[in-house]
Amino acid sequence: MSSHLEGATASNPRFAPPMDFAAQAVAGREIQEQASADRLAFWEKQSRDLLHWDTPFTRVLDWSTPPFARWFDDGELNVAYNCLDRHVEAGNGDRIALHFEGEPGDSRSLTYAELTSEVKRVANVLEGLGVGPGDRVAIYLPMIPEAIASLLAVARLGAIHSVVFGGFSADSLRARIDDAGAKVVITADGGYRKGRASALKPAVDQALADRGNGEQGTVEHVLVVRRTGQEVEWNAGRDVWWHDVVPAEPATHEARAFPAENPLFILYTSGTTGKPKGILHTSGGYLTQAAFTHKNVFDLRPENDVYWCSADIGWITGHSYVVYGPLANGATQVIYEGTPDHPEPGRWWDVVEKYGVTIFYTAPTAVRSFMKQGRSIPQSRDLSSLRLLGSVGEPINPEAWKWFRDVIGAGVTPIVDTWWQTETGAIMISALPGITDLKPGSAQVPIPGISVAVVDETGEPVARGDGGLLVATEPWPSMLRGIWGDPERFVETYWKMFADRGYYFAGDGARLDEDGDVWLLGRVDDVMNVSGHRLSTAEIESALVAHPATAEAAVVGANDETTGQAVVAFVILKESYLKENTAEGLAGELRGWVGEQIGPIARPRDVYIVGELPKTRSGKIMRRLLRDVAEGREVGDTQTLADTSVMSVITAQVR
């Protein structure tokens, strides 16, 4: 098996799929041909082939009231049945669904039959707690099997889950619970991270605490998994232990069919304003594209493969490529609870070796931190089971791409660089590993059935090689159906810019190269990408100004070798505070403060205390200039500043 370079240039190498891989690939050229011949017929076929419909649909797409799409809308299905029961009924109940590896080294494997039974019990419990179709359930859990069972139990009832990443603070959790109007919260006493039991329940207690303003929260019950055994406060009547109620339920529960457009989940993500958006996804179209891409992009053979996606269920990648895609396809997968480097830097590679992982999907930031640790760590493990690698969340720089393939992939495994978003629900742009010649650094081509373009501000395609805005020119099955409770913001944010053409604007800059391959150029709005996680400059700025010492704040995403971008804050302090404290002391305090307000992922790498911020005559902060300072570059054009000398003052203060 050897890879060969074909028609490549030194600066733009290409790697053809290994011959034996290509010969057996799940996705062949015919799916591309079918999709380009008739896009809707293609999705219709995928949906019928990949899913079980209790009531088969007769309509594929209703786009009569754009941008509100309806896919397969007269069909009915149960999402959890598609991920569980039908595999058991087909005789695959003994297949492992989940190999769970806990950070302290405990492990557990669940077959499809066992996971199905567990989900039925949890569904019974939730019904007993009053959860029915359309109700919202917030999930705040570590990466343990109960998390996956919880999502599926909610889906089984036709209810809507809203997963909140366990690294978010009590305030962030409260905002999400309130916005969604959740009836039940599912949490744990804690989870293991970096060798410690890290508490979760106190944040839930704090999020649900009396607001002192007479306002009644919507949460009626909290279902608590015991994971770490740490002490928890108990609110009798509201709180219920998972281990008291779940095992006591019968493992029987009939999965009712729900309409294809029944909401499946809300997932909050950062936008350009301070308030996170509740991205809404529905059932039939979402599951179709999640299953299709999981099978074809990852070349899945469910009977043989052991798949591992390192994402947490708190992010969209965990929803689509840990829960729904893999389980709809009957895959065997690994889930891992903790951090990559605990108890020692080779932990992930031990997991690959232990379970014989064949397909591994992760983020460039992780690859870059492994690069820093050196190749001897992975090379001391047996990684020969791996046959396909995937990347998601941010552009993977060619150097990291090559390291990933050489060191982790034995120099031969294809790497699929997958571009998509919380909003797109599933992969939109990626190589198909058996047919695409790979180009490190480029996400490459829209998957079959997806249409994208790179356009200028008027919607006209830009010339090959030129930078422009990435748009989706046609609706797709797993597209977001809205922003929870805010249809206007949905239209405004994604559709207004190219309203006359009906294009979805993704917020990313991109360019097409001479072959038509897509290169992502990063966000063109005020959204940052730190370790593949989306953060809004406005949200962090509002956390900073909420601190009593802050007069004004501006936040930028600066290039960072490991995390892609890093949060850098420029803060003007109130005079009175500076008299009593040192600038360093306050900078440290503000970093911690942001961590508490939003969550540790939002904590700025640097906080610079400055005397002024660069503003235009109309008062708009010129973040571009601050980014120059943060990245140690010469400061760009300052002509539009109200006071052109301000940048030299700031630069001097920062250095």
Six-digit token pair at 368?
Answer: 């870059």
Strand 196-199 with 184-188, pairing: unpaired
Binding-residue pattern over the window 485 to 514 for ligand PRX, x denoting contact by CB under 6 A: ---------------------xxx------
Cβ-based nearer residue to ligand PRX, 313 or 587: 313
Name the segment binding ligand PRX (CB under 6 A); options: 148-156, 230-238, 388-396, 483-491: 388-396
422 binds ligand PRX (CB under 6 A): yes
Minimal distance in Å, beta carbon 402 to ligand PRX? 16
228 binds ligand PRX (CB under 6 A): no
559 binds ligand PRX (CB under 6 A): no
Six-digit token pair at 610?
Answer: 């400055």
CB atoms within 10 A of CB 257: 16
Minimal distance in Å, beta carbon 390 to ligand PRX? 9
For residues 171 and 543, give the distance between their C-alpha atoms in angstroms, rounded to a whole number.
Answer: 11
281 binds ligand PRX (CB under 6 A): no
Do the annotations mark residue 194 as ligand-binding? yes
Six-digit token pair at 281?
Answer: 């996804």
Q: Is 551 helix (H, G, I), strand (E, B) or coil?
A: strand
Do the annotations mark residue 508 as ligand-binding? yes
Helix spans in 135-234 (H): 145-156, 170-180, 201-208
Beta strands in 270-403 (DSSP E): 277-282, 306-309, 332-336, 359-362, 388-392
Q: Name the amino acid, one letter, at 450.
A: I
Read out DSSP for 230-244? ------TTTEEEHHH
Q: Binding ligand PRX by CB under 6 A: which of 417, 474, 517, 560?
A: 417
Cβ-based nearer residue to ligand PRX, 285 or 314: 314
* Segment holding 534, helix H or strand E: strand 533-536
Q: How far is CA 382 from the centre of its chain?
A: 29
Q: Binding ligand PRX by CB under 6 A: which of 116, 317, 478, 563?
A: 317
Do the annotations mark residue 65 as ligand-binding? no
**Where on the phi/psi map is residue 449: left (φ > 0), alpha (ψ -120 to 50), or beta?**
left
Residues binding ligand PRX: what is the number (CB under 6 A)?
21
For residues 520 and 508, give the distance between their C-alpha atoms in angstroms, rounded to a whole number.
Answer: 7
Cβ(538)–Cβ(270) under 8 Å?
no
Q: Binding ligand PRX by CB under 6 A: which of 291, 328, 443, 471?
A: 443
Closest CA to 388 of 426, 355, 431: 431
Q: Binding ligand PRX by CB under 6 A: which of 529, 537, 550, 565?
A: 529
* Segment holding 549, helix H or strand E: none
Cβ-based nearer residue to ligand PRX, 188 or 416: 416
Cβ-based nearer residue to ligand PRX, 242 or 360: 360
Cβ-based nearer residue to ligand PRX, 72 or 420: 420
Six-digit token pair at 5?
Answer: 């370079």
421 binds ligand PRX (CB under 6 A): yes
Closest residue to ligand PRX in the complex (CB): 422
Cβ-based nearer residue to ligand PRX, 140 or 315: 315
Cβ-based nearer residue to ligand PRX, 309 or 646: 309
Read out DSSP for 425-473? -S--B---TTTPPB-TT--B-BPTT--EEEE-TTSPBPPTTSEEEEEE-
Minimal distance in Å, beta carbon 179 to ligand PRX? 18
Annotated binding site for CoA: 193-196, 317, 531
Annotated binding site: 193-196, 317, 393-395, 417-422, 508, 523, 531, 534, 545, 547
Annotated binding site for ATP: 393-395, 417-422, 508, 523, 534
Site for ligand PRX, rule CB under 6 A: 269, 316-317, 392-395, 417-422, 443, 506-508, 520, 523, 529, 534
Annotated binding site for Mg(2+): 545, 547
